[in-house]
């Protein structure tokens, strides 16, 4: 991955992924009211804590995949004013979804994500996530058996 994409990845993780998860999880708070809060409570807070980041990730991946496949042409303007045609960079979806330490979620996101072997990783201490509100899940929480 080129360093020129780091700024795009950082903004995407902070302003879209982390913020999207935070906004959705607000409805899980005991003091949350309204239809959305009621719907998430019906799903169950523990299930929702796994589903919300996965749904956000699925949507972001589909966006990046559309860019990778040139179905959606987007240009990112960096802080210094230079422009990057994202549809010419390739593998945006791969850099986002990889669970390797050099992937975008591992490097730039402060929120947990689901790995391919069904483990939820909790970001390091010092992030926004409250470990009491967002516990780390073991495989048993994710298996339907």
Domain count, the chain: 1
Question: Structural domain of residue 112, as residue ranges?
Answer: 3-142
Torsion sign (Cα): 12, 14, 15, 20: positive
Residue 74 or residue 41, greater confidence = 74
Beta bridge partners of 49: none
pLDDT of residue 116: 64
pLDDT of residue 74: 95
pLDDT of residue 90: 84
Express each pLDDT in 83-142 by its tens digit: 999 999 989 999 998 878 888 998 999 898 877 665 666 554 455 554 444 433 333 344
Percent of the chain with pLDDT over 70: 78
CA distance 64 to 71: 10
């Amino acid at each position: 991955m080129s360093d020129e994409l780091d700024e795009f990845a950082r903004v995407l993780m902070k302003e879209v992924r982390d913020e999207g998860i935070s906004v959705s999880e607000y409805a899980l708070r005991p003091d949350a009211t309204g239809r959305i809060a009621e719907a998430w409570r019906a799903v169950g807070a523990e299930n929702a804590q796994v589903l919300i980041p996965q749904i956000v990730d699925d949507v972001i991946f589909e966006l990046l995949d559309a860019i990778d496949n040139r179905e959606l042409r987007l240009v990112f303007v960096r802080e210094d004013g230079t422009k990057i045609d994202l549809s010419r960079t390739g593998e945006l979806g791969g850099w986002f979804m990889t669970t390797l330490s050099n992937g975008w979620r591992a490097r730039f996101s402060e929120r947990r994500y689901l790995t391919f072997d069904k483990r939820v990783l909790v970001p390091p201490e010092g992030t926004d996530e409250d470990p009491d509100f967002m516990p780390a899940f073991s495989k048993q929480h994710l298996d339907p058996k």
